[in-house]
A and B are shown apart, each in its own frame.
Chain A
Amino acid sequence: MLVLRRRVGEAIVIGGEIEIEVIEISRTRVKLGVRASRDVSVLRREAIALAAENRMASDLIAHRGQQGVGDLLRLLCEISGENPQAEPERVDM
């Protein structure tokens, strides 16, 4: 791993096009600014695992369908004591 020391206001450049600047340093955290073209995906590392998890989450209804979801969570619905109806509706915000 390449290790560089930088101060606030200083930056590094990756591949000639992506610039990462140190904006602020506190006792436990560093605030970074990234300049890159819009087609460059910039993610916190933990968000990469979350992306895979989200894709699995979207598969839940895609693979099991409404009926499968209903079967799986019937116990929850019984606990909530709701009367079954057919039509979907928006959540009041």
Chain B
Amino acid sequence: MTVSEIIRSTHLGDIEWNSGCELFLPGGLPGFEEEHRMIPVEVPAQRPLVFLQSLDNPDTCFVSLPVRTIDPGYRILLSEEDRSALVFETDRELSIGADVLCLALLVPFENTVQANLNAPIVINLHNRHCIQALSAGGATGYFRLGDGGRWESVC
């Protein structure tokens, strides 16, 4: 039986969640190493944004986008260590959407935002283990939201 709980998010308000949507971050995220549990949250009016709310700290919340809403041709390249952290036992190619969910954190930049597609949040959809992968997009680099709502590669 699944029991619902409520996290009182500083930024999103009360969110009801259950263990079926909990993400496990064994090593936390760089800069947030002590936070090991998160939930992904969608606000319908702000789709396709995905908020990543920490369950360990109600103040910590990230705003993210699925990487392919930024770069439709994005392919995931994981290191051996990252595959191991996500508990993928074989070295077969991983499918975004079927095996993993890849989210890019949005970082404020002047009056807009940018996203580092080389360091996406990668969620194993089979076990909900989650890491922030380094160099996961090869030489993809940074994208910045420009005029007209278009994403532009900046390096």
Please name all residues of chain A whose beta carbon is closer than 8 Å to the beta carbon of B59 when the two chains form the complex. 62
Which of A41, A50, A58, A73 contacts B46, CB < 8 Å?
Answer: A73
Interface of A is mostly: helix
In whole angstroms, what is the CA distance A60 to B61 when docked? 9
Contact pattern, A 72-93, Cβ under 8 Å of B = 1, otherwise 0? 1101111110111111111111
Once the chains bind, are B49 and A69 in contact (CB under 8 Å)?
A: yes
* Known A56-B108, A76-B48, A76-B149; contact A61-B43, beta-carbon cutoff 8 A: no
Contact pattern, B 54-75, Cβ under 8 Å of A = 1, otherwise 0? 0000011111010001000000
Q: Answer whether residue A47 sits at the interface, using C-beta atoms and an 8 A cutoff.
A: yes
Once the chains bind, are A50 and B31 in contact (CB under 8 Å)?
A: yes
Please name all residues of chain B whose beta carbon is closer than 8 Å to the beta carbon of A55 when the two chains form the complex. 31
Please report which residues of chain B, range 78-131, place their CB below 8 angstroms from some CB of chain A when the two chains form the complex.
Answer: 105-108, 112-113, 116, 119, 123, 125, 128
| B33 smallest CB distance to A (angstroms) | 7
Please name all residues of chain B whose beta carbon is closer than 8 Å to the beta carbon of A59 when the two chains form the complex. 108
Q: From B48, which residue of chain A is reached at the shortest CB distance? A: A80
Q: Answer whether residue A51 sits at the interface, using C-beta atoms and an 8 A cutoff.
A: yes
Contact pattern, B 14-47, Cβ under 8 Å of A = 1, otherwise 0? 0111001100000001111100000111111111
Which of A53, A61, A63, A72 contacts B116, CB < 8 Å?
Answer: A53
Please name all residues of chain B whose beta carbon is closer than 8 Å to the beta carbon of A46 when the two chains form the complex. 134-135
In whole angstroms, what is the CA distance A66 to B42 when docked? 12
Q: Answer whether residue A33 sits at the interface, using C-beta atoms and an 8 A cutoff.
A: no
Q: A57-B106, A75-B148 are in contact. List 14 more A-B contacts (CB 8 A).
A: A46-B134, A47-B30, A53-B105, A54-B62, A62-B10, A66-B11, A69-B63, A72-B112, A73-B113, A80-B48, A84-B45, A90-B16, A90-B41, A93-B123
